[in-house]
C-alpha cells in the first residue's frame, strides 16, 4: 500500500496538504518524505545487511544458535550472490531506472526467501506453495482490475476535461514570456521534466507561476488548494516537459495533465492519449 501511495492514483483522491507540500512526488506515502540520500542508503543497508551479511554470519554455529534464540530467520546462503548483485547495481546505477529494477528484484528476493524458509512438512509445504502461487495471482488480478476501473471512472465527465484544457492553457501562458520580437522565451531548460509544483519550488525564475494566469482562475472557480499545489482536476500534479535536439534546432516545451486515466500517455515530444496539455514552444526540426 505504501508503494502504490495507498491507492491515490487508483482512486483519484487528493492527499492531505502535508503530503502535497512535503512529499516531492506529491503522493500520500512516507518513504518519499525522507531525504533522498537517507532513502538510498537505508535501502542499501537492508540489502547488504539482511541479504548478504546475515546469511554469511549464520554460517557460524554460535551465531546461528544466537539467531535461533532471538527468532531471527536468515535468508538462505544460496541467495547471497543475487542479493549482492542487487546491492552492486543500486550502488553503481548503471542504467536509467536502476532503482526501479532493484526494488522489483528485491521484492522477488523476499518472495524466494519466504518460500525457501517455509516448513519442510508435507502439508505445510504444499500449503505454502499454494499461497506462493495464489497470492501473486490475486494481487495481479486486483491490480489490473482496479487500474481498468480507475481509467474509466471519470473519463465520461467532460467538464473536468474542459477545466484541464483551460488550466493548461493558462499555465502555458505563464511559462512563456514575451521577448522584444514577440517570440516566447521559455523559462525552462532542455531536458527538464518535472512536476510543476517541484519546478516552482526549486527554480527562482519560476516563482511567478504562483501569481499568474493559472492562479487567477481561482476567481473563476478553481479550488485554491489545486492552484497552490498545481493539481489537475483528477488530483494529479501538472507536469512540464522541455525536450530539444540542438543538432536539428528542434525544441518542444509543453505543460500537461495525465488526464482522466491518471497515467502518462505522452511521449517526450508530443501530447498523446488522453493526456491534456498545451504547447509553450513547438519548433520542429529543420
Smallest Cα–Cα separation from 175: which of 90, 252, 261?
A: 252
What's the confidence (pLDDT) of residue 123? 53
State the average pLDDT over residues 134-155.
69
Q: What pLDDT, on the 0 to 100 scale, is given for residue 178? A: 56
Q: What confidence score (pLDDT) does residue 179 get? A: 56
Beta carbons of 39 and 45 less than 8 angstroms apart: no
- Name the burial class of residue 121, with classes exposed (0-12), middle (13-18) and buried (19+) by CB atoms within 10 angstroms of its CB: exposed
pLDDT surpassing 50 at residue 121: no
Could you report the per-residue pLDDT of 152-206, keeping only the tens digit for each? 555 557 889 999 999 999 999 988 875 555 555 668 888 999 999 999 988 887 8
| pLDDT higher than threshold 80 for residue 235 | yes
The mean per-residue pLDDT over the stretch 102-129 comes to 73
Check whether 133 has a pLDDT greater than 90. no
128 pLDDT band (50/70/90 cuts)?
low
Q: In the prediction, which pLDDT does 169 show?
A: 95
pLDDT digits (tens, 9 = 90+) for 53-62: 999 999 999 9
pLDDT in tens, 7-47: 787 777 788 888 888 887 888 888 888 777 888 899 999 99
Amino acid at each position: 500500500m505504501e508503494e502504490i501511495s495507498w491507492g491515490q492514483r487508483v482512486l483519484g483522491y487528493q492527499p492531505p496538504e502535508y503530503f502535497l507540500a512535503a512529499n516531492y512526488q506529491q503522493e500520500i506515502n512516507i518513504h518519499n518524505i525522507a531525504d533522498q540520500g537517507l532513502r538510498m542508503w537505508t535501502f542499501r543497508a537492508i540489502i547488504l545487511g539482511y541479504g548478504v551479511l546475515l546469511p554469511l554470519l549464520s554460517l557460524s554455529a554460535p551465531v546461528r544458535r544466537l539467531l535461533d534464540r532471538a527468532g531471527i530467520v536468515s535468508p538462505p546462503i544460496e541467495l547471497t550472490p543475487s542479493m549482492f548483485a542487487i546491492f552492486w547495481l543500486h550502488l553503481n546505477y548503471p542504467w536509467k531506472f536502476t532503482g526501479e529494477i532493484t526494488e522489483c528484484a528485491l521484492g522477488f528476493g523476499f518472495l524466494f526467501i519466504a518460500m525457501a524458509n517455509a516448513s519442510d512438512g508435507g502439508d505445510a509445504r504444499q500449503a505454502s506453495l499454494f499461497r506462493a502461487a495464489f497470492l501473486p495471482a490475486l494481487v495481479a488480478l486486483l491490480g489490473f482490475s482496479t487500474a481498468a476501473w480507475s481509467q474509466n471512472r471519470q473519463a465520461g465527465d467532460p467538464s473536468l476535461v474542459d477545466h484541464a484544457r483551460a488550466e493548461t492553457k493558462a499555465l502555458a501562458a505563464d511559462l512563456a514570456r514575451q521577448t522584444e520580437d514577440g517570440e516566447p522565451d521559455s523559462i525552462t531548460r532542455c531536458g527538464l521534466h518535472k512536476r510543476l509544483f517541484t519546478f516552482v519550488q526549486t527554480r527562482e525564475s519560476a516563482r511567478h507561476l504562483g501569481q499568474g494566469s493559472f492562479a487567477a482562475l481561482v476567481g473563476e472557480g478553481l479550488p485554491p488548494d489545486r492552484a497552490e499545489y498545481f493539481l489537475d482536476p483528477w488530483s494529479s500534479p501538472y507536469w512540464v516537459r522541455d525536450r530539444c535536439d540542438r543538432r536539428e534546432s528542434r525544441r518542444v516545451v509543453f505543460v500537461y495533465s495525465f488526464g482522466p486515466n491518471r497515467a502518462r500517455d505522452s511521449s517526450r515530444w508530443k501530447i498523446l492519449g488522453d493526456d491534456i496539455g498545451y504547447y509553450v514552444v513547438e519548433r520542429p526540426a529543420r
